[in-house]
Amino acid sequence: MIQSVNPVSGEIIATYEKHSFNEVDTIIHQCAKAHKGWAKEGFDRRSALMLKASEILRTQANRFARMITLEMGKPIKQSRAEVLKCAKVCDYYAENASTFLANEKVKTAASESYIAFRPLGVVLAIMPWNFPFWQVFRFAAPALMAGNGALLKHASNVTGSALMIEQIFKEAGFPEHLFRTIKLAGKETASVISHDLVKAVTLTGSVGAGKAVAGKAGSGIKKSVLELGGSDPYIILEDADLEKAVDVCVNSRVINSGQSCIAAKRFIVVKEVQQRFEQLFVEKMKEKVMGDPMSDETEIGPQATPSLRDELHAQVTSSIEMGATCLLGGEIPKQTGAWYPPTVLSHVKKGMPAYDEELFGPVAAIIEATDETDAIRIANDSVFGLGAAIFTKNIERGQQIAEKEIQAGCCFVNEMVQSDPRLPFGGIGASGYGRELSYAGIREFTNIKTVYVK
């Protein structure tokens, strides 16, 4: 059995029967059969259906947002924004897929030679709970527009969201079985990866899960794309506009109640402005409203599960025991639910969990740097490499650091790290490999084929 549990009250929202292995095998065969016909469809047909999915997302956004908030506690205003962002990614690939996957002519000794982008087949997506709709649609929109079939193994606690997404594609008119949800526990997914009809896999999740999935896919010589954890550094230089920087930094730290791979995690502040930065940061964090996630006034909801909250608190207490200073928060509220308050740690040093590990919640780690060179060193002193941000009034300086100095998949200057359908998204190191979104994302799950005609 699979259960969805409300992280506010601890009450069971719904219980679902898992699929048997025979049922999963049937679903995979059905998806593979649907893909064969879908791969022959032109882009006009694919685009029309994807635009219909976008329309459904917009017109029923409140209903979908409510399910997201019920299952994982995201503030409802952010849940609605997530659903609408999914509509945008559907629009983007509906409008651009034919261009991104058009044959590319290459001049050679042949009478004609070109590169074609052909679908791979059935692609398995293993998705997390923190953005229950967005993580799925940023995979599904390009994968389906490229002509693939799609299987979704979602996090168990957001099974209701997973089934809603499957229904969206059905209602939009996509071929039956082309997009299917598989209800399995995480440990049971290995057999799906190894299935002969599954041609590729994409995972958004933990480093441990990434290693397991990559290993299983690799043993079957199957393409994989991994978007794993992040401990994004935000560098605040001595010439930064501190008030603007703090606004961006705080918002990035608490978005989705701090449960985002690309949320700001480590705030690396040049010594001469650290004291003022900390003062402003704590003031802004105090202003954030933690409460009922169904209220539009709420900015921070509960953590997705009590166990995740407890793991976060253990990282905080361990860091404090090792010498970090707690400037705000740091204590579990005495109330029902998986709550954790906005928390600020200062004097964070290497060897502490707040320095070395990903903090998946509304906890900020402030690290002092002597100068720009030291700040860059600290930013790169991590196994992760997903996103990063630099704050400075000297745009050229910030751009040079972002492009040439920081080891990460995406670097922003004077703005929070965020995903955009128009830009490639992904990381390096322990943050994974491969890219989602933009033209790079749709080409990940295609056969990039050379055609040579003499």
pLDDT tens string 5-43? 999 999 999 999 999 999 999 999 999 999 999 999 999
Distance of CA 423 to the CA centre of its chain: 14
pLDDT at position 298: 98
CB atoms within 10 A of CB 36: 13
CB neighbour class for 291 (10 Å; exposed up to 12, middle 13-18, buried from 19): middle
Q: Phi/psi class of residue 340: alpha, beta or left (left: φ > 0; alpha: ψ in -120 to 50)?
A: beta
**Domains present along the chain, CATH in parentheses:** 2-228+428-453 (3.40.605.10), 232-413 (3.40.309.10)
Neighbours of 161 (CB within 10 A): 26
CA 68, CA 1: separation in Å to the nearest integer?
Answer: 20
Contact yes or no for 203/226 (Cβ under 8 A): yes
pLDDT given at position 90: 98
Alpha-carbon distance of 221 to 64, in angstroms, equals 37
Closest among 429, 415, 408, 444 to 138, alpha carbons compared: 444
Confidence (pTM): 0.97
Identity of the residue numbered 62: N
User: What burial letters (b/e) apply to 37-51, b meaning 16+ CB within 10 Å?
Assistant: ebeeeebeebbebbb
pLDDT of residue 186: 81
In this structure, are residues 293 and 299 in contact, taking their beta carbons and an 8 Å threshold? no
| Cβ atoms within 10 Å, residue 448 | 11
Q: Which residue has the tokens 């908030």?
A: 69
Burial class (CB in 10 A: 0-12, 13-18, 19+), 203: buried
pLDDT digit string (tens) for the chain, length 454 residues: 999 999 999 999 999 999 999 999 999 999 999 999 999 999 999 999 999 999 999 999 999 999 999 999 999 999 999 999 999 999 999 999 999 999 999 999 999 999 999 999 999 999 999 999 999 999 999 999 999 999 999 999 999 999 999 999 999 999 999 999 999 988 899 999 999 999 999 999 999 999 999 999 999 999 999 999 999 999 999 999 999 999 999 999 999 999 999 999 999 999 999 999 999 999 999 999 999 999 999 999 999 999 999 999 999 999 999 999 999 999 999 999 999 999 999 999 999 999 999 999 999 999 999 999 999 999 999 999 999 999 999 999 999 999 999 999 999 999 999 999 999 999 999 999 999 999 999 999 999 999 999 9
Encode pLDDT of 351-375 as tens digits. Answer: 999 999 999 999 999 999 999 999 9
For the stretch 315-347, what's the b/e string if a residue is b when 16 or more beta carbons lie within 10 angstroms of its beta carbon?
A: bbbebbeeebebbbbbebeeeebbbbbbbbbbb
Task: Identify the pLDDT of residue 187.
Answer: 83
d(CA 440, CA 430) in angstroms, rounded, equals 20
Instruction: Give the residue numbers annotated as catalytic, written as ranges.
Output: 227, 261
| One-letter amino acid for residue 38 of the chain | W
